[in-house]
Every structure is written in structure tokens, then in C-alpha cells.
Amino acid sequence: MNARAQKLVEKLEEPLIVTTPANVRYLTGFVSSNVSVVVEPERVRLFTDFRYAGAARIVPDVEFVETRRETIAHMAEFLSGTFAFESTNLTYRDYEQLRDGGLELIPRMGLVEGLRAVKGEDELEQIRRAAAITNQAYERIAEERFVGRTERELAWRMFEFFHELGAEEEAFDTIVAAGANGARPHADSGERVIEQGTTVVVDAGAVLDGYCSDCTRTFATGELPDELQRAYDVCLEAQLKGLEAARPGIEAKQTDAAARDVITEAGLGEAFGHGLGHGVGIDVHEAPHVAPTSTDTLVANNVLTIEPGIYLEGTGGIRIEDLVVITDGEPEVLTSFPKELVTVS
């Protein structure tokens, strides 16, 4: 049993059936579209079908069990007694199959995710490398012509840059949102032609060795209207305050408040409707959550985003996002592309 699984065992009240793909990867290093892991006090069993058997047999520190294609249903034949399951992932159909197989099932949440929130040194190095690729991609996109091109065209250029720089894939579909489209935090990059004198929000991240990065920068295509320029200045001040408040032992909601108060005091509170940030690792959105409703407390080796935004309906949007590692002192900022407003042609 490896060290990660051993830490999980120490938290369990009963054996745990793990079905969340990112959690399976974290515990075993195994990636498959059809896999379940059972963590018990003395062993870890990995269940998958013939298609993945060759790879599963060489996974260290686990007992491999080959199943039929219907892994969950077949898995119940190897188990008996009481088991916890990941209630945020297991489908009701799979729950029924396990229950009908005679298992007593107890829902649990966040057991593996809590471990994943505190990164090991190997994980931090993988995230740093993914962030370095993202930094270079932003340097390249800033040299591109913006005005007269479509959002989708520039999003595709970021995709190309990531692959040229060695990324496995994008952490998510790159967002390029110009003008009024930038007032939508999760905008789709479409056929909108980028005009002069507005903002362009670019939100992108790379995956390397299974770990993600995440960064947002907002560009100007010439001199901005006073409303957008002021929004940028306020957002940048808020982002810096959020960084100052990203310290171990601080409640995540306090970190959120440090940034949010700046925007609220500027009269723009209603234009910042999402949380300040989120954890990043195997998934681009994971624990801890940095938001007004968060119950998390920041600890050393959390990796998270600090990303306030101001969204002015019908006008434009601003978001400034850094990826940071919580340390015993100031956070280690992994995003190096400038936060001061960059003007592109």
C-alpha cells in the first residue's frame, strides 16, 4: 500500500469504494474510463476489465482484479459487508447494482479530495511545469494581432501554443471573450470579431503529467473607456489584496473577503458574482474553495487561484487570475505574465 492510500486508510471508518477518476489516479496512478478501487485497512484492490488488464497488472501496491465490462456490477461479487462510497460520483444505477449485490453502503464526501488539497513536492513540481508552459503561451499570444480577428481564432492559437510548448492538452477550453462577451465569466469563444478600444479576457491552462495550470489575463485593444479602465484598476487592487490574504491558517472566506471588499467599496460589488478562487491539481477545479460560503482553511502546499472579476453587462469584463502555492510565508506565485494592463493591437 502506497503512502497516499495509507493516509486515506487513517481517515476511514469503513472500507471505501473509489469511483471518481481523479481520485483513482491520485491513489494508484492508474487512468481508465472503466475502473473502481476499493481501499481497505490492509490492501488496495483495483477493478477493471480486459481492455485495461495489461496496464492494471503492473500498477504497484495494488491487487488487480479483472472484471467483466460492467465493472461495478461484477465488483459486487468480490465484496461483502459494509462499504463507504463517493456520493458525489457514484450513479444511482451503480449504487443499486452494489446494493443488490448484498453490500451495505454508506455515503461519504471529500475523503480523497481532502488529501489531494495538500500537494506533495512531486505534485508541486508538475504544477510548476504546467504553469511555466502557460506563462510562455501568454507571452506568445500577447504578440499576436487581436483587432479584426475572431475570439475563436485566438483561442485556437492558444491551443496551438500549448502543444508546441509540450503540454499534453488544455486544462479546459480556452476562453477568449472580447467586449460585451467578456461580461460572461464562462463565455464561449465564438465568431465575434475583436474591436479596438475594448477589453479581451483570456482564460487558459495547460495539462502536463496529469496536473493542471490556470491563468487569466485581460488585455486592452487600445485606449479603454473610463468605465473599463476604472474597473481594471479596481480589479487589480482587489487581486493584490487577495494575494496578501492568502496565508496558511487563514479561512478561505477571509481571503475572499479581502479582495471582495475592495470591489464592493468601489461600488462594483454586484459585478463580482463568483468566488475568488479554487484549488488546482489533477482537476482544474478542486479543493480548497475560496468563496464567501467556503468552510475551508488554507494550509501550506494548497495550490489555488486568486481571480477576482468585474463584469459590466453590455460593456465588457475584467478578470485577473494568478495560480499560487500557499507557503509558510508569502504565497509562491506561479503565473509570471504581467498583471499591469497590456495593450495589444
In sequence order, which residues have a C-beta less than 8 Å from that of residue 91 and are 6 or more positions away?
Answer: none
The last residue of a domain, from among 99, 116, 133? 116
Residue 177: exposure state from Cβ atoms within 10 A (0-12, 13-18, ≥19): buried
Q: What is the mean pLDDT of residues 265-270?
A: 97
Whether 332 and 243 map to the same domain: the answer is yes
**Amino acid at residue number 10:** E
pLDDT tens digits, one per residue of 89-106: 999 999 999 999 999 999
Q: Tens digits of per-residue pLDDT, 170-220? A: 999 999 999 999 999 989 999 999 999 999 999 999 999 999 999 999 999
Quote the radius of gyration of the chain (alpha carbons, Å): 22
Could you read off the pLDDT of 43-79 as tens digits, one per residue? 999 999 999 999 999 999 999 999 999 999 999 999 9
Residue 120 amino acid letter: G
Each residue of 103-125: pLDDT tens digit?
999 999 999 999 999 999 999 99
> Are 112 and 198 within 8 A, CB to CB?
no
Residue 1 has a pLDDT of: 86
Contact 144, 344 (CB under 8 A): yes
Give the pLDDT of residue 42: 93
Same domain? For 138 and 277 the reply is: yes
Q: 54 and 112: one domain?
A: yes
- DSSP state, 150? B
Dihedral of CA 57/62/65/71: which sign? negative
pLDDT of residue 180: 96
Give the residue from 116, 131, 166 where a domain finishes.
116
Domain count, the chain: 2
137 shares its domain with 251: yes
Based on the fold, state whether residues 156 and 245 are members of the same structural domain: yes
Residues with Cβ within 8 Å of 285's Cβ and at least 6 positions away in sequence, in order, are 278, 279
CATH of the domain at 318: 3.90.230.10
- 3-class secondary structure, 93: helix
Question: Do residues 103 and 131 share a domain?
Answer: no
Q: Do residues 213 and 125 share a domain? A: yes
> What is the extent of the structural domain holding 228?
121-343
Q: Based on the fold, state whether residues 247 and 266 are members of the same structural domain.
A: yes
How far is Cα 168 from Cα 79, in angstroms, rounded to an integer?
37
Of 70, 85, 116, the position where a domain reaches its end is 116
Residue 107 and residue 138 in one domain = no
Say whether pLDDT at 330 is over 90. yes
Sheet holding 199-204, edge to edge: 175-178, 199-204, 215-220, 342-343
What percent of the chain has a predicted confidence (pLDDT) above 90? Answer: 99
The enclosing domain of 23 has a CATH number of 3.40.350.10
CA dist., res. 2 & res. 26, Å (int): 11
Nearest to 213 by CA among 111, 285, 269, 268: 285
Same-domain pairing of 215 and 133: yes
pLDDT attached to residue 95: 94
Answer yes or no: do 109 and 189 share one domain.
no
Cα separation, 213 vs 335, whole angstroms: 9
One-letter-per-residue 3-state SS of 296-333: CECCCCCEEEECCEEEECCCEEEECEEEEECCCCCCEE
- Asked if residue 55 and residue 201 are part of one domain, the reply reads no
Residue 283 grid cell: 482537476
Cell of residue 218, nine digits:
485581460
Question: pTM for the whole thing?
Answer: 0.93
pLDDT recorded at residue 334 = 98
